Amino acid sequence: MKRVAKPVFFIVALLILFLTYSATFGIKGKNGDNSTTYIKGVGDIRWGIDINGGVEATFSPATSKKATKEQIDSAKSIIEVRLTTNHITDYELYSDYNNDRIIVRFPWKNDEKTFDPESAIKELSATAMLTFRAGDEYTTATTGSDGQPVYKTPKGETATNVILTGSDIKSAKSEMYQDQTTGKATYQVGMVLNDSGTKKFAAATESMQGKIISIWMDDVRISNPRVDAVITDGKCSIQGNFTAAEASALANKITAGALPFKLTTSNFSTISPTLGSSSLHAMLIAGMIAFGIICVFMLFQFRLPGFIAIIALLGQIALSFAAVSGYFAFIPSFTLTLPGIAGIILSIGMGVDANIITASRIKEELWSGKTLDGAIQKGDDNSFWAIFDGNITVVIVGVILMLVFGPSNILSAMFGASTTGSIYSFGYTLLIGIVGNFLFGVTATRLMTKSISGFKFARNKWLYGGAAE
């Protein structure tokens, strides 16, 4: 057997313990009163709405006619504006153009006192009130969850003088145009008004040359362009150094005020934060007890390899947490749901299995009369492919789950897009668990076993399940 240097055991074990510690508690620095998080721990994990509480709802247009992609997009933009102005972060929003659906999911805020999901859903899907108002006076200025300033509640002349409403607008589109003087291509929003709108707008732009007409959705200002010319033909444009995305976002919002349908809520589900947190607590207790049982079993049954297996299992659990908390800079944090936790528990089961297979194989070889080194080597070799094949089949299951239940999935063509359901999280944690299994349950365990068997105190075959010497 190729010997592994003695210190390797301690290096690997310490690395695992460090990973476990840092993935559990995170690494946080204090700079005066500000604490900065360098590495995220378990406390930073973003819990799914089944744990933290929250709302999931599906909205669809209340018409029998099929909505166009533009209409769905602008309906979506209404919801988005309302989410960000209500300081709801962490929301997920999907649109399904084939089936005319908009799906939104957001967790309940921690500081929220009352849990009133019905009003929240109603508020999001209410018909948007789009208004063009004279002047640009507002009551409050705050910052939305996307970091942009939010100007709310018109006042003064802006509150009283409404020039146009959503029903005056025929269409709004993002367009590209070439600047006459600089020749640079920029984006603008082109707007077409209907007859009533054309008349009102012609009068208003005549009297308000050089002044501002602000555009509002519900109670929130979405744009404040200046009147440059009198618009008599009902065709105008809004310019303002937009990027392509900004221009189409604004166009979507303006169209939203002129949508020919209302949004109805076809599906919704809510979970209160208290129910969620008690399930989390229960899972935590269960996890600790289960881990304790496994530790005791492994120690009694497999002695030294059992002890090593426990260290490796710690590493595997830590990796699972690290992969969802955003511990590694290159893996974004992931929403962990109850099935996701079940995925972690199951992958730990697979990890235990890998250790049991290897340790049993070593024991078998010892009883057939091999030397300690020979038995460890043979046991490792013989068990590898069984572990490999077993784990790859679980990988297949995990990948299918992620592909089928992900946001844009392989079955989208058949069933349309959906939210990342809670099963998606299960697939993810299962996959990460298998990676951890190869990394810790196979590689780290073997390095540690071979390395520790070089020490004199660890030469006794009894420690590996052999006959007492």
Partner 1 sequence: MKTFKIRFFENRKIFFAISLGIMVIGLIFNVIFGTQLDIQFKGGAEIKYSFDGKIVQEEVEKIVQDTTKKDVTVHILENVKSSDGKSVKNNVSISFAGTESISVDNQQAIAKALTVKYPDANFQVVSSSSVNPTMGHSFFAKCMVAILLTCVLLVFYIALRFKKIGGMSAGVMAVLALLHDVIMVYFTFIIFRIPLNDSFIAVVLTILGYSLNDTIIIYDRIRENRRLMGPKTPYSVLVNTSINQTFTRSLFTAGCTFSSIATVFIVGQVYGISSVTTFALPMMVGIVTGCYSSVCIAGPLYVMWQNHKAKQKAEARA
Question: Taking a C-beta distance cutoff of 8 angstroms, is the pair 344, 433 a contact?
Answer: yes
Length reported for the chain: 469
- Please give the residues from 412 up to 441 whose contact with partner 1 meets the rule CB under 8 A: 414-416, 418, 421-423, 426, 430
For residue 345, state whether it binds partner 1 (rule: CB under 8 A).
yes
> 139-148: long-range contacts (C-beta < 8 A, 24 or more apart)?
144/84, 144/85, 144/87, 145/83, 145/84, 145/87, 145/88, 145/89, 146/84, 148/84
Closest CA to 164 of 220, 203, 115: 203
For residue 279, state whether it binds partner 1 (rule: CB under 8 A).
yes
User: Closest approach of Cβ 52 to partner 1, in Å?
Assistant: 13
Contact stretch for partner 1 (CB under 8 A) within 31-39, 116-124, 189-197, 238-246: 116-124
Residue choice 15, 211, 392, 455 for contact with partner 1 (CB under 8 A) = 392
The amino acid occupying position 191 is M
Cβ nearer to partner 1, comparing 53 with 154: 53
- Give the CA angle between residues 230, 173, 170 to the nearest 5°: 65
How many chain residues interact with partner 1 (CB under 8 A)?
A: 79
Say how far apart CA 353 and CA 26 lie, in whole Å. 29
> Site mask, partner 1, residues 83-112, x = CB under 8 A?
------------------x-----------
User: Closest approach of Cβ 301 to partner 1, in Å?
Assistant: 7
For residue 63, state whether it binds partner 1 (rule: CB under 8 A).
no
Cβ nearer to partner 1, comparing 106 with 187: 106
For residue 363, state whether it binds partner 1 (rule: CB under 8 A).
yes
Between the CA atoms of 332, 337, 338 and 343, what dihedral angle is there, to the nearest 10 degrees?
-40
Contact stretch for partner 1 (CB under 8 A) within 65-73, 136-144, 193-201, 261-269: 261-269
Return the structure tokens found at 100: 């005319």
Contact stretch for partner 1 (CB under 8 A) within 66-74, 194-202, 354-362, 372-380: 354-362
For residue 390, state whether it binds partner 1 (rule: CB under 8 A).
yes
For residue 204, state whether it binds partner 1 (rule: CB under 8 A).
no
For residue 385, state whether it binds partner 1 (rule: CB under 8 A).
yes
